[in-house]
Amino acid sequence: MFPIMNAPRRLFKYILAYKVRLLAAVLCSLISAACVRALGVVINWFATVASGKDVLGLPPVQIGLRYGIFEPAHAKAALIWIIAILAVLIHVPKALFAYANNYLTASVTNRIGADVRRAVYDHLQTLPLSFFHRNKTGDIIARITYDVGLITNASQVVTQAIDAPVLIVVGLAGLFAISWKLAALTLVFVPLMGMLIDRLSKRIRRLTTDTQEKLAELNTVVEESIRGIRIVRAFAMEKHEINRFAHANMEALRAALRAARRAAAVIPAVEFMGGLSGAVLLLFAGLMVVSGEIRIGKLFEFTYLAFIVAAAGKQFGKINVLYQQTMAGAERIFELLDARSDLVEKPDAVELRDVRGHIEFKDVHFQYNEGEPILRGISFKIEPGEVVALVGPSGAGKSTVADLIPRFYDVTSGQVLVDGWDVRDVKIASLRAHIGIVPQETILFSGTIAENIAYGRPGADMSEIIEAAKAANAHDFIQALPNGYETRLGEGGSGLSGGERQRIAIARALLKNPRILILDEATSSLDAASEVVVQEALERLMRGRTTLIIAHRLSTVTGANRIMVMDRGQILESGSFNQLLTSGGLFAQLYRTQFRTEEVV
């Protein structure tokens, strides 16, 4: 994990991208603060009138008398009107510039949130499959949503971080102009308030991090239960899932309340300190009025500005709480951004062109975790255009062999070669551009059927999409849909049968037109009727292509040029269907226990 001290600096780089907007927000804050200062002067005039003092020396009265706007006898009444009008006039720009300040800072933080979300999502696309196997989907989603949300909500931090210092500086300048003694007394309480805020805010970041982690766990529970809703219903486990959610929900609540208790203590404590300082100031100010050292109007102006400074000081308590929460979210985000792919592309990696489709494994060993070997010395060759089936019991390592060809993982030792090139020596994108995969679990995305077929070739013409669909035996059922190829699919292709989804996946692979094809148990989840249609489409797809089939069904095995039998990470047998069947080895055993049942049916 990166050092915690880096989080503010790294977040600041995102903020700097919007420095013009922030400077504009500061300018708006300065103008708003100037309006506050002007209101203090207006309050001084009002207090002078209210105390019965002579008002003839006040600036607005002097101006009115000089230009004959009113008579000396009407000076006090005129001043009341002037004060009322000025108060309204001052509040108009104050409100407008406060609005501009709030909007500008909110726009900055929301833009930063969008930038961070995009950076995280873009980075996720570069991470290997091993990262997603090690990390829960719910936690990853929580970081993109909840944690980025903390950064976005930091608009309050930025707004108050701009407003509070400006108001304090402007307010203190006014206080010293009125009475340096009272202003100096005000400053005595500033370090005391700072120490109190720091002491109360220390644990907020850790408590917020704990809250975010609990929310991530809750998110995982929701994601798993929705994704597996058919299994939940099939096994009547609704009550179990309700209890599991209730437990995770309660843990998240407890964590949130712990953080809320600490955050809630900051503001009342600061307010108490502010009240104490205000009482002391009023005591000394009252004595100064009695002694004639300060006029009542100036005291009212001083009190108004003192309250403004105190309110701004209280904002620092909120700022620190929000800052700690923001940094907790930022640390989790940057932890994700610091995750690095173990699939490093060499600087001199070559572009793979004109692929014929020759595949070779040379003494390949592989393990996901240290000391837990998955493949043990795998060696074989697949000639261009050859169809090879991999069979074996579950956990034999078949899917791992398939995953090494497009370099989803790197071998622990040995070599995987495509057309004589070690896959680690070629550019990953150029390697995968020549490989098509039809998985057992068809993945379709939200969007139209046409967009899903053209997923590997976004610029494909509609005529090419239709031709691919026809070759995949998908055109007829697509045409029967309400909007044909423009029919929008629900999540995961909901609304289509398994066979229909699989045929769209085959059309997608056909449109990509790869030289190497990997079929990962592509028909194992289909019923017999659907399998016939899909198998016919697969035969068209395999024609002229180097094909590796991970097979559980007899129909996909018998059509292979060669069958390799795996068990416990090793290839035990290799040969044609008849050769392996008569040899009496593992394949013959699998045939008797697994494949033969298909013939009986």
> What pLDDT score does 1 carry?
41
Last residue of a domain, one of 513, 534, 553: 513
**Whether residue 165 is found in the same domain as residue 294:** yes
CATH number, domain containing residue 449: 3.40.50.300
**Residue 230 counted as domain residue:** no
Last residue of a domain, one of 513, 545, 563: 513
**Whether residue 152 is found in the same domain as residue 284:** yes
**Whether residue 22 is found in the same domain as residue 147:** yes
Alpha helix (H) residue ranges in 51-74: 59-66
**Whether residue 329 is found in the same domain as residue 445:** no
**Whether residue 147 is found in the same domain as residue 279:** yes
> What pLDDT score does 117 carry?
86
Q: State the DSSP string of 86-108.
A: HHHHHHHHHHHHHHHHHHHHHHH
Contacts of residues 149-152 at CB distance under 8 Å and 24 or more positions apart, as own/partner, are 149/113, 149/329, 150/208, 150/212, 150/325, 150/326, 150/328, 150/329, 150/330, 151/11, 151/109, 151/112, 151/113, 151/116, 151/326, 151/329, 151/330, 151/333, 152/109, 152/110, 152/112, 152/113
**Residue 285 counted as domain residue:** yes
Pairing verdict, β 421-422 and 435-438: unpaired
**Residue 401 counted as domain residue:** no
Map residue 360 onto helix, strand or coil: strand
> What pLDDT score does 361 carry?
96
> What pLDDT score does 601 carry?
42
**Residue 535 counted as domain residue:** no
Q: Which domain holds residue 490?
A: 435-513
**Residue 80 counted as domain residue:** yes
569: left (phi over 0), alpha (psi -120 to 50) or beta: left
Last residue of a domain, one of 337, 359, 376: 337
What's the whole-model pTM score? Answer: 0.71
Count CA atoms within 13 Å of residue 548 on its CB side. Answer: 28
Number of domains observed in the structure of the chain: 2
Judge contact between 378 and 446, C-beta under 8 A.
Answer: no
> For residue 358, how many other CB atoms are within 10 A of its CB?
19
Burial 211-231 (b: 16+ CB within 10 A, else e): bbbbbbbbbbbebbbeeeeee
Give average pLDDT by consecutive 10-residue segment, the chain, 601 residues. Answer: 61 85 86 82 75 70 74 76 83 87 83 88 84 81 82 66 76 82 76 68 74 80 71 70 84 82 70 70 75 76 76 70 79 86 86 92 91 91 92 87 91 94 92 86 82 86 89 88 86 76 86 88 61 74 87 73 91 90 85 61 42
**Residue 83 counted as domain residue:** yes
Alpha helix (H) residue ranges in 202-352: 204-227, 229-234, 238-290, 296-337
Residues 6+ apart with CB under 8 A from 234: none
Burial 394-431 (b: 16+ CB within 10 A, else e): eebbbbbbbbbbbbbbebeebbbbbbebebbebebeeb
> What pLDDT score does 407 carry?
92
**Whether residue 173 is found in the same domain as residue 302:** yes
Q: State the DSSP string of 20-57.
A: HHHHHHHHHHHHHHHHHHHHHHHHHHHHHHHTT---TT
Dihedral sign, CA of 245, 247, 249, 252?
A: negative
The full length of the chain comes to 601
CATH number, domain containing residue 12: 1.20.1560.10
**Whether residue 325 is found in the same domain as residue 440:** no
Count CA atoms within 13 Å of residue 523 on its CB side. Answer: 21
* Cα angle: 333, vertex 335, 340; to 5 degrees: 120
**Residue 550 counted as domain residue:** no
Distance CA 504, CA 371 (A): 40
> What pLDDT score does 421 carry?
94
Pairing verdict, β 372-382 and 413-418: unpaired
Distance CA 455, CA 512 (A): 9
**Residue 89 counted as domain residue:** yes
